[in-house]
A and B are shown apart, each in its own frame.
Chain A
């Protein structure tokens, strides 16, 4: 029997079906659920998760993991709010935070590479350390107020007609996805990331700069997390040290649901966007339901993550069998 899609595309196809099914479920159960304004809002609400997920996709593609995402988002958020409170211009504060985020990622990558430490322990220390650093800066939520931010949120919107304004952050998410897509698919760096994640030893022997690639991957992830933190801050108009707890699970889940293998070497950036949208729709469904405990969100995300990992394993087994009988599976991305 010939399947209409190749085994590698099954998870993406399943994810697409789940997204359609979830939106359908919402449309049947609730009035206005599948309306355009509602779904456009979803993109804006989950923009920060999406931006952080694009960075994390590169890390996971390279065979690593980043558990410090949530804490870095919270740290950026608290630092920005605190700087603005002390009279900084939002643009200056943002620039500093982006530099700090990238620098933090660089140190992480350097520790992983130079000392051959497991990525999870380095980023776990980052997760706890940065969260504590948030409380060092501000013990509680800091709200921000600045004429520049008011101007941005009121004027820089895309009028999509029908009284719907698409906020800047949704466009930023789409821009990050496009840049990430090009970076992963059409640059030397992207190719190196796939090579390192697929087989580090083989990549090394072929002359891929494994060390530099690893360090740049974490730098990129740190930058994306900081950018996500800025989007989050300006969206919530506040910096809260207790925000974005557990974001790392959402990020890993969106990356995996989008078809990226946790073992590295296989995956795509647009898939990650699909994963983020699924998580967003689930969150929206639980919010619409009203009387459901918000803890259900993390339970649903965890179950979905495990479900997709199970699916990947299953396809991996089938793929292995087809390889043994002469079929082949392309592990590398197609050459453009």
Chain B
């Protein structure tokens, strides 16, 4: 008879990392086996990396270039989900943030002011969500659904229902800039720095413990003296601010604020990145590195779609199927079934 041992804590970043590897292998096989295809590393292949104007280019580089948005969104969403919440409004907050920055910039304000105001308003949106969830005790998906639908309207009103293009070197640098000493884009460095700061804040202070306590059992945490309400408001403010930064990157990438398309369809992707990275929807656990790798997996999936000529409009279909599969694999009845099988 086997003595049941406590489950070993696997690094949760393993699953999304395996997913990325799998996607890259599938892409490489496609390139290799397609008749008349580019071969494994020929021009146009997924693994092909070339130097364009002294800057590396190719599908793999694109994943790093554009992955920052997903990574930052996932970092913001992780504490929210860890405390049993969810934020469906991140896409609309991205649109609002981009619209604010572009409108300010066109109005002749300095970049620092535009950036600060954009992120500040995004954090205010998060505060709004947090108050609805924490003080008014609304279910998180209803509270944030309001901003998800109405927020896009707000963004349209800010830009007067137009796509506002801007020309500002500092603003553009957030999305397109590259430091001369590193072959990586600034947005990726920004995402890495945010990840570092978050990990230190969560794991080197009591914050992570408190978040997991509130997510694990809110009532017990409250009785133990954790200020759960304040903490929950805080997670939504953080999530809003992160969505604001992601919105700035998205706007800088196209040098314009598009209130109709900025951040569209990203809500599900952000939740997926967090869940596949080891933070369950039921809360109580929190894995930041896993979420960040999950964000890269999302970008890998998106880039794969583009290289296979699947349009942005259709891309959410496979995403939705994959997230359902991941949720089913992690669902309590399935876990119980697996545990039963293992015990036999």
| List of B residues within 8 angstroms of A295 by Cβ | 150, 152-154, 156-157, 161
**B269 CB, min distance to chain A CBs, angstroms:** 9
**A312 CB, min distance to chain B CBs, angstroms:** 10
Q: Which residues of A contact B (CB under 8 A)?
A: 65, 67, 111, 114-118, 120-122, 124-126, 128-129, 131-133, 135-136, 139, 241, 246, 248-249, 252, 262, 293-299, 301-302, 305-306, 309-310, 313
Set A115, A248, A309: member contacting B136, Cβ < 8 A: A309
**B90 CB, min distance to chain A CBs, angstroms:** 13
3 smallest A-B Cβ distances: which pairs? A295-B153, A129-B320, A132-B317
**CB-CB under 8 A for A135 and B142, given A116-B331, A306-B132:** no
- Of B225-233, B235-243, B308-316, the stretch lying at the interface with chain A is B308-316
Contact A302 B314 (CB under 8 A): no
**CB-CB under 8 A for A132 and B320, given A67-B145, A293-B157:** yes
**B140 CB, min distance to chain A CBs, angstroms:** 8
Contact A313 B136 (CB under 8 A): yes
B327 within 8 Å of A (CB atoms)? yes
What is the chain B residue whose CB lies nearest that of A70? B149
Q: How far is the CA of A169 from the CA of B281 in the complex (A)?
A: 40
Set B145, B315, B320, B332: member contacting A248, Cβ < 8 A: B145
| List of B residues within 8 angstroms of A65 by Cβ | 139, 141-142
What is the chain B residue whose CB lies nearest that of A134? B313
B328 within 8 Å of A (CB atoms)? yes
Consensus secondary structure, chain B interface: helix
| List of A residues within 8 angstroms of B156 by Cβ | 293, 295
**CB-CB under 8 A for A306 and B146, given A131-B316, A132-B320:** yes
Contact A310 B328 (CB under 8 A): no
**CB-CB under 8 A for A122 and B324, given A298-B153, A299-B153, A302-B150:** yes
Contact A128 B316 (CB under 8 A): yes
**B86 CB, min distance to chain A CBs, angstroms:** 7
Q: How far is the CA of A296 from the CA of B328 in the complex (A)?
A: 39
Set B148, B157, B327: member contacting A117, Cβ < 8 A: B327
Q: A115-B334, A128-B268, A139-B311 are in contact. List 18 more A-B contacts (CB 8 A).
A: A111-B328, A115-B328, A115-B331, A120-B139, A124-B271, A125-B320, A126-B320, A128-B320, A132-B314, A293-B156, A293-B161, A295-B156, A296-B153, A297-B153, A299-B150, A301-B150, A302-B149, A313-B137
What is the chain B residue whose CB lies nearest that of A128? B316
Q: How far is the CA of A241 from the CA of B313 in the complex (A)?
A: 10
Set B132, B138, B316: member contacting A132, Cβ < 8 A: B316
**A175 CB, min distance to chain B CBs, angstroms:** 29
Contact B314 A136 (CB under 8 A): yes
Q: Which among A117, A133, A248 has the greatest number of chain B C-beta atoms within 10 A?
A: A117
Q: How far is the CA of A148 from the CA of B311 in the complex (A)?
A: 35
Q: How far is the CA of A248 from the CA of B142 in the complex (A)?
A: 10
Q: How far is the CA of A249 from the CA of B267 in the complex (A)?
A: 16
13 A-B pairs within 8 Å (CB atoms) are namely A65-B141, A67-B141, A117-B327, A117-B331, A121-B327, A124-B141, A262-B142, A294-B153, A298-B153, A299-B154, A301-B149, A309-B142, A310-B136
Q: How far is the CA of A246 from the CA of B334 in the complex (A)?
A: 33
| List of A residues within 8 angstroms of B86 by Cβ | 120-121
| List of B residues within 8 angstroms of A248 by Cβ | 145, 149
Contact A116 B149 (CB under 8 A): no
What is the chain B residue whose CB lies nearest that of A305? B146
Contact A135 B333 (CB under 8 A): no
Q: How far is the CA of A115 from the CA of B320 in the complex (A)?
A: 16
| List of A residues within 8 angstroms of B154 by Cβ | 295, 299
Set A122, A135, A249, A294: member contacting B149, Cβ < 8 A: A249
Q: Which among A111, A297, A306 has the greatest number of chain B C-beta atoms within 10 A?
A: A306
Which residues of B (267-319) have their CB < 8 Å from a CB of A? 267-268, 271, 281, 311, 313-317, 319
B27 within 8 Å of A (CB atoms)? no
Which residues of B (105-136) have their CB < 8 Å from a CB of A? 132, 136
**CB-CB under 8 A for A298 and B328, given A128-B320, A129-B316, A136-B314:** no
| List of B residues within 8 angstroms of A121 by Cβ | 86, 271, 281, 323, 327
